[in-house]
Amino acid sequence: MLEGSILQSLGVSHQSGQSGKRPLNFGVYYKNTLVALCHALEDCILTSSSEPLVVTAFQRGKWYLQEADRYADLAARSQQIVIMASPDAGFAEHPTSQKANVELVSLDPSDPVSQEWHLMIFAPTYTAMVLCQELSPEDYGAQGQPTQDLERKFYGFWTFEPNLVQETIELSIAHIKPYNAALAAKLTAQLDAIVAAQTEKRDDLSLVVARVVDYLQDGQTALSAQINAHDAERLHRDPLDSNLVSNEVQAFLRMAQLTDQADAANSTAAAEVASLAEAIGQLLDLPVWQLHRLKLAGLLHRLAPLQATETVLSPGSFGRYADDDALSTAPSCPLVPGAQVLRTMPRLRAIATIITHLTEHWNGSGQPAGLAGDEIPLESRILGLAAEFQQRLVDLRTTGYNTHTPPDADICMTKALAECQQQQGDRWDPKLIDALALLVGGFQQGLNLPVSVPKISAGLWLIDAHYADDLFKAVSEAESTQ
């Protein structure tokens, strides 16, 4: 990364060993992916319930000129827009640049930020950010720099996390200060006011992510229309298609990550449930592709607003989203908002099905479709049990047996297992309870289950050809017989 750049400064502050900060997940993105991603995140400003502070950096003024008209629309819904770029295209004369809440910072050509591509959006109800630098000629390797603009590659990351967006804007303000001290002071005051105004009420991220996926897919379609058939076959054979799919998966993983972070009592639930479910799947000798699918479903199982109560399996949790009469009479299950957004990406339709049916009961008394026994997808049965067991463990660890002595881990596991065993054959598949009991016994004998938050920028490995299998079709057929 360029020395003295905003991306490099943020990366240094999050190196391993930095107190209170986790390392960042950097990835490589094609330009067409970044254009679609930035447009999706920007357009969500137009529907946000609060006005953001927007800070951007363009590699060259000409890139801003291509976006100037749309930035006029964004300025109408923003508290402030700041644009950093080299003054090489006369964009200061564009009408958008004359708006009272649009400020331009003309960067020195030697400034490393003039080589970066940034978008930071910070509002009380909506935050998002993209930070990137183009790969150097050396990074491109033997193939050399691309001849097509949309094949250019950028190193960086993107996120919805408010704390990271705030931190990066603070770094940007510090960078702006030598150029315009008055503007830096104004931005600091605006940032502080937004932080003070933040509440638990946030814009619906599921809508944001759906827009991101739509824009990524539309961008790929537009690219196909622009290039000839030979180039299309070459590009789609691997790099651009893989980059597109990877970023779609990242969008959902980042949304799920925020759901976990919002739960102070159980902030690593997704990673723990995914690991626990994968371990149960291994005991059942599931194939690798199914273990991957199970793990991804575990990482996404808390997608808001699916889990709006203390546990994903709370009775009646679907009642907020669907009419009770419809639940009992519809030939197929109602739309579950947290899972439904996954269906915007065809390769995740099976994952959406798994998450939707977490609340089915082995005896057929569950929701949303009243499936029973083997009609319930196996991954749904595994994941539902893993989520319940993990939540019970967290509850036991949190409350303990008294306020002075931490609860014994083995006792907590024994108690959580016993509570699940009480519903064996009714709520839970008997063979899965047996597998869980075997796993708990292993834990108590010293078995260690590695739990780690996944590197989101490397999420593509979780997707393979089996994601397009007949799980959704099989469940639909089972529902139609109810």
In tens, the pLDDT along 396-405 reads 888 764 556 6
5-9, 151-155, 158-162, 345-349 — which one is most confidently predicted on average? 5-9
461, amino acid identity: W
pLDDT at 218: 73
Higher pLDDT, 94 or 323: 94
Domains of the chain, residue spans = 6-203, 265-480
Check pLDDT > 60 for residue 470: no
Check pLDDT > 50 for residue 148: yes
pLDDT at 8: 92
Does the domain formed by 265-480 have CATH 1.10.150? no
pLDDT at 372: 94
pLDDT at 209: 79
Hey, do 6-203 and 265-480 end up sharing a CATH topology, with the first three levels equal? no
Among residues 159, 180, 377, 183, which one has the least CA distance to residue 277? 377
pLDDT at 25: 76
Arch. (CATH architecture) of 6-203: 2-Layer Sandwich (3.30)
323-327, 362-366, 400-404 — which one is most confidently predicted on average? 362-366
Nearest 5°: CA angle at 435, between 431 and 438? 140
Average pLDDT, the chain: 79
